[in-house]
Structure 1
Amino acid sequence: MNAVEIEEAVSDLVQQPFDAAEFPFQFITAFGAKKATVDRLRATKNGTNQSDVGGVLQRNNIHIGIAPAGQVGATLAALRASPKTTSAKAKFILATDGETVEAEDLVGGDVIACAYTDLPRHFATFLPLAGISTVKEIKNNPIDVKATGRLNKLYVELLKDNPDWATEERRHELNQFMARLIFCFFAEDTGIFRENQFTATITQMSHAGHGSCDEQWGNTHEVLTALFRAMDTPVTHEGNLDDRYRRAAGIRPYADVFPYVNGGLFTGATESPRFSRTARAYLLRAGELDWKEINPDIFGSMIQAVADDGERGELGMHYTSVPNILKVLNPLFLDGLREQLEAAGDSRQKLRNLRRRLANIRVFDPACGSGNFLVIAYKEMRAIEAVIVERLGGEANLKLDERRSVIPLSNFYGIEIKGFAAEIARLALLIAEFQADCLYLSQQEARAMVLPLHKTGQITVGNALRRDWLEVCPPVRVTAGAEHDLGGPTGRLALEANGLGEGAGTETYICGNPPYVGSTWQTAIQKADLEAIFGSRTDLWKSLDYVAGWFMKAADFGTRTTAASAFVSTNSICQGQQVPILWPLIFATGRSIAFAHTSFKWANLASHNAGVTVVIVGLADERKGATLFATDGNGIVTTKAADHINAYLVDGPDVVVGKSPWPISDLAPMDFGSKPVDGGHLLLDSAEVASLNLTPDEQARFIRRLYGSFEFINGVIRHAIWISDADEKDARLIPTLAARFAKVSEMRAESSKSRTRDGARWPYRFDERRQSGREQLIVVPAISSENRDYLPCGVLPSGIIINNKCYALYDAPMWNMALVASRMHWVWIATVCMRMRTDFSYSNTLGWNTFPVPKLTGQDKADLTRTAENILLAREAHFPATIADLYDPESMPDDLRRAHDENDEVLERIYIGRRFRNDTERLEKLFDLYTKMTASQPKPKKGKKAA
């Protein structure tokens, strides 16, 4: 379920008669609990309900108690004190008597006390029950979710009633129609129109359809068309009230009372879609909401999915929190504005200079969606301007013209590929401006200025990687003196009156959260987009993430006009093979990394997206000094001044870590496991082993336990047929084995690769064997989750076979495992190796062979051997727990964590004589050591190379 569906389900629940016995099950069902889950909770025998206070306890989620009348507080206290609440790791407790509700978020600390019927206002607090992360803006203002849900129902119904409007040719008209509705709902609740004027007019002047044929549609579409035409028709001539235009247009009397809006929003308002009885009901229900509470940066992002058939299932899921957006905007330019404000003090000249600067700032989001970044930038700039106005004398001493904002919406630019999102971005900026005027001027003055609508954000619909950004956001030379539109002066402060906007000193800031899309998952069109940007620069562009195109175009933009930029990106562009492809091209334009936020979770409301790991990278002209930000596991951000930030987002010189065929440190060589290339015929589960009908001696001789990454991490039992050349003849005498060899031979013989076809001659064994089967192995999975604090690794005894989904150190000293298991190595491979979505893709040549380790003494190796053995002993104490169980960051056993801490302590003291403070410091030391080691490293004699 998505957030909108959950809000509707909770609203429906409280409208039904309260059923004390059923409420707990109804409540968790509203948050997406499956029928099987509810049935198990209901079951009196072998059920999962563990409540010890007569309620319903869903493990890892919520403990619900039904209270006697007037005893809700006492029941909540009993739930809080319940040992089962603690042992079952309940996130929430909730008590109700059908009249009032009290609840507590045991993780976040939020407390709810409200009437039972008001429970839907607090639904967002409980979204974690559905696996959906949430933010305080949604918790505090559920109107955005409710409005999104009602508009979505209306939109779907209109598509059903008007199939011709669903075509590519007319979808834009429907999207624009929806944007007009949103404005009208907002206008009638904020004083732009008279209170309830729009909804009341539709209620009174339209009627629902009935019967069939044309009568089924009623006249709602005609009424809306008349209203929108009125809003597109001026009521003045040469600055004076004059009804000539409305008379000429034949505006109906009930529509003539509406003001002239225009501003592009109602231009060409000639037709509306037909409304069935159901659609009309949805329209009126949407009008019942209190739209003045709409938050444009939330609502715009949520409503974006309404018009997208592919995204509608995630309705209301795409909101990005303000704090995350400010991680981009603050260091890009807002912090600089605030510092200048602080330095200005009460100096009127400095304050005016800063205000002049605000008027000349342009913000450009070339992947703007519904305008989140632009809206937040505008609101933050208005807040700074409000302080300036207050220090200059405020409302008491300044004329209205001096208090009005000098920040024009026309200074906010965007590119968005989806037409409806672009419409919503323009509308969101208008709403943000009106709300800011209400806040910083007054409601009366805001209403007086808002109509007719003036020019809003300059949002271009198109493919940002194909558009010329200099055409969308051109270099400024001279700006027009005052803004005008078809309705005459807008009432905004004329810029030339204060000597603003002359072109000199214009600042452009490019920002946003472009689509990431790794190289494997790009469409043909996206590949072509990247080729158009990179094809003439590098032959390796196919390995780049899609987001790389935005970074390159921003760097190119900066060579033509003064601009700084910052984007959110998956951290993969600053890791592994993408670094040497992308960043030399960006640095060649003269850009450098002015600031960066190292890896952190960028979460939205989507239940399927627990949060992709991202970085923020800010580019500017080459400069000395930069700033590094880092977010720890508790969400605390630290700031560090850096001399120079390299492409790995480390304070250090520019360096590219390339593959090495041998370890640069004194480490054991690492190689792949053996590759079967067998069509699955040499690999077996336990049932398949039994089906071979081997004797115990034959099974011991020809069958081995097999591990790949998945089997090692999850404890899955698999086997392999493992035949030495000396045993081939005996194995072929066994019919069940011979049958499998025949299938392997057939599969390899049909391969298009000559190397594989050669392998048909030895179908009894793995095609690529890298072990005899007699070695002790220190094994490292090739693919593992980044969510663990340490890289999974371990020791496997002689006789075990690993496939090519694992790496291994064969018969290596145990102290090597201490290095693999360390936080130092985790940080290194997280930076220099590739990623597969959110998983590490380990590489021996890129991760192990390049790992810089100081010269180890005999005592160092003995100490590391001991700490590695302690890690293994701590794991053994929890047998049969798997690696996945043991290294779950939420439930890692304390003794195992202590063993790893000791291992890190020993190793890190070898590096610097103490523990590192954080991962940033670890990386800086590793890169410094890598630079020194590779600069002075002699080329070793040829020996066994790692694959």
Structure 2
Amino acid sequence: MLDITTDAAGRFADVARSMAERGHDPAKVAHFLIQSLFYMFAEDIGLLPKRLFERVITKRQGDPAKLAVSMAEMFQAMRTGGDFLLEDIAYFNGGLFEHVEVVELIPGEIDTLLAASRMDWSAIEPSILGTLFEPGLDPKVRAPLGANYTDPGTIMKLVRPVVVEPLERKWETAKARIAPLVEKYHAGGKGSQKAGQEAQALFLGYLERLKNFRVLDPACGSGNFLYLSRRALKDLEHRANPEAEALGLHRQLTIETSPYNLRGIEINAYAAEFARVTVWIGEIQWMLKHGYDCRRNPILARLDHIENWDALLNEDGSEAEWPAVDAIVGNPPFHSSATSACAANSAPRQLRGSAPATTAGCLGAQTSCCTGSRRPGRRSRPSAARQSASSRRTRSAVEQTGRCWTALSRAPGSSGRGAMSRG
């Protein structure tokens, strides 16, 4: 899977580089190529007519202007669903196809994109997608994506103790209570029906906990930590169902964990969009792999909770408010002079009135205070009572993640700059 993605990355990087050299706006190039990438993926997993992208390019490759018009019509059909070249196009949108502005291609770029369309994108590895266009992008656009691929195993060194293990312990505790209740139910007699109901309620309560579990990456880049956190939650739910059935309970027919479990903050608009695409592709792949249909009408749920703003400061200089979550994932701080100064400057701050300021500064350093940027727009503050409850919940998540970062940085073989490069 990684080899497929690496090959694809090279092809898209070539197109991005060529367009950048021709003077096209990097954000416009990135948006167009993200749409093209997602179209190829959706086509190869059967959500769009087979080889339609390739057919369009082949038919119009001698006339770049007409090709741009045809591609725009194709993407626009995905916005609401409809017909394109006598083919039925499903309703996708989710925000990805809200704005369509195709970059006109030159012959060499057309050939490269045509070759990419002939690849099998169904097994693309979402966690490396952030490197696809990096070589051809402006440094300001490229920086949030990171220079290095962080493999899933490394990312899971943080996701597992912060997200997976606490929930696994909850399920083990629930199962220990369920077993005698099911035994009492099968024995019959007084109280047996109530015991059966209590057993089923414990199982459903665990599933509800998974459904409502919230994970935040406050500097999410292209979304690798969010993608793997969502996958971990779905794996937990998927495992719990047959285990509950083996205990004698009724398994659930649907999977309730979803991209809505995730919260992301990213100051770079392009990276935030790429994070959404990473999560969308990972979600669809997981559902189809495990025998579930993906959502429909629209296929892509809006991921407005992966947001584009400064995780540290509001534009008026006040402290930004993070959403209430159960776990915080992401990269540990990088030990450079810039980030060290940034963390030092942030030291007096208190995030949500509770989280240690140095932790907050390090979490956001890569995408906000070290760049001197400010998020667009303004966010309203919650009520005092809600802020207090959110503070306790978020502080617990920050402290848990901080302990994991410390353990990873002290592990044998650690470089001292944290166990993970930017995801």
TM alignment of 1:520-539, pairs within 5 A? 520-521=337-338, 531=345, 533-534=346-347
User: TM (normalized to structure 2)?
Assistant: 0.74
Report the CA distance shift for 1:412/1:457 in structure 2 as closer, same or farther (over 3 A).
Answer: farther
**8 A Cα contact 1:148 1:316, kept in partner:** no
**8 A Cα contact 1:596 1:616, kept in partner:** no
Question: Which of 60, 66, 73 is the equivalent residue of 1:219?
Answer: 66
Shift of the alpha carbon at 1:459?
A: 1.8
State the AA in 2 paired with 1:465: L
* Distance (whole Å) between structure 2 residues aligned to residue 378 and residue 364 of structure 1: 11
TM alignment of 1:392-541, pairs within 5 A? 392-393=244-245, 402-442=252-292, 445-446=293-294, 449=296, 451-456=298-303, 458-467=305-314, 471=321, 473=323, 475=324, 507-518=325-336, 520-521=337-338, 531=345, 533-534=346-347
Give CA deviations for 1:861-891 in whole Å, capped at 9, x if unaligned.
xxxxxxxxxxxxxxxxxxxxxxxxxxxxxxx
Correspondence for 2:113? 283
Correspondence for 1:102? none
Report the CA distance shift for 1:182/1:437 in structure 2 as closer, same or farther (over 3 A).
Answer: same
* Distance (whole Å) between structure 1 residues aligned to residue 27 and residue 412 of structure 2: 31
Correspondence for 1:142? 3
Give CA deviations for 1:53-99 in whole Å, capped at 9, x if unaligned.
xxxxxxxxxxxxxxxxxxxxxxxxxxxxxxxxxxxxxxxxxxxxxxx
* Distance (whole Å) between structure 1 residues aligned to residue 244 and residue 400 of structure 2: 37
* Distance (whole Å) between structure 2 residues aligned to residue 176 and residue 154 of structure 1: 13
* Distance (whole Å) between structure 2 residues aligned to residue 304 and residue 547 of structure 1: 30
Question: Which of 376, 391, 394 is the equivalent residue of 2:228?
Answer: 376
Shift of the alpha carbon at 1:529?
A: 8.1
Shift of the alpha carbon at 1:568?
A: 11
Shift of the alpha carbon at 1:180?
A: 0.8
* Distance (whole Å) between structure 1 residues aligned to residue 62 and residue 359 of structure 2: 49
State the AA in 2 paired with 1:208: G
Question: Which of 243, 246, 267 is the equivalent residue of 2:98?
Answer: 267
State the AA in 2 paired with 1:455: R
Q: Does 1:344 align with 2:174?
A: yes
Report the CA distance shift for 1:195/1:408 in structure 2 as closer, same or farther (over 3 A).
Answer: same
**8 A Cα contact 2:44 2:122, kept in partner:** yes
Give CA deviations for 1:541-592 in whole Å, capped at 9, x if unaligned.
xxx9998443899xx99872412335999xxxxxxxxxxxxxxxxxxxxxx9
* Distance (whole Å) between structure 1 residues aligned to residue 405 and residue 416 of structure 2: 18
Q: Does 1:155 align with 2:16?
A: yes
* Aligned length in residues: 364
Report the CA distance shift for 1:379/1:469 in structure 2 as closer, same or farther (over 3 A).
Answer: farther
State the AA in 2 paired with 1:612: S
Question: Which of 407, 411, 417 is the equivalent residue of 1:597?
Answer: 407
Q: Does 1:208 align with 2:208?
A: no
CA-based RMSD: 3.8
- Computing the radius of gyration from Cα coordinates, the structure with the larger value is 1
Which has the larger share of helix? 2
TM alignment of 1:689-838, pairs within 5 A? none
* Distance (whole Å) between structure 2 residues aligned to residue 436 and residue 326 of structure 1: 17
Report the CA distance shift for 1:534/1:330 in structure 2 as closer, same or farther (over 3 A).
Answer: same
Report the CA distance shift for 1:599/1:372 in structure 2 as closer, same or farther (over 3 A).
Answer: same
1:142 match: secondary structure: helix
Report the CA distance shift for 1:228/1:469 in structure 2 as closer, same or farther (over 3 A).
Answer: farther
* Distance (whole Å) between structure 2 residues aligned to residue 379 and residue 465 of structure 1: 27
**8 A Cα contact 1:429 1:457, kept in partner:** no
Give CA deviations for 1:145-178 in whole Å, capped at 9, x if unaligned.
11111011111222334x2x32xxxx43332222
Give CA deviations for 1:277-332 in whole Å, capped at 9, x if unaligned.
111111111111111111112x224236256433979x995221223222212222
Shift of the alpha carbon at 1:379?
A: 0.6
**8 A Cα contact 1:517 1:547, kept in partner:** no
Correspondence for 1:330? 160
State the AA in 2 paired with 1:152: A
Q: Which runs of 5+ in 1 are unaligned?
A: 1-139, 210-216, 236-250, 476-506, 538-543, 570-591, 604-610, 618-947
* Distance (whole Å) between structure 2 residues aligned to residue 411 and residue 612 of structure 1: 32
* Distance (whole Å) between structure 2 residues aligned to residue 267 and residue 597 of structure 1: 43
User: TM (normalized to structure 1)?
Assistant: 0.35
2:216 match: secondary structure: strand
**8 A Cα contact 1:568 1:614, kept in partner:** no
State the AA in 2 paired with 1:426: R
Q: Does 1:229 align with 2:76?
A: yes
* Distance (whole Å) between structure 2 residues aligned to residue 307 and residue 398 of structure 1: 52
* Distance (whole Å) between structure 1 residues aligned to residue 349 and residue 173 of structure 2: 47
State the AA in 1 paired with 2:207: R
Question: Which of 243, 266, 281 is the equivalent residue of 1:391?
Answer: 243
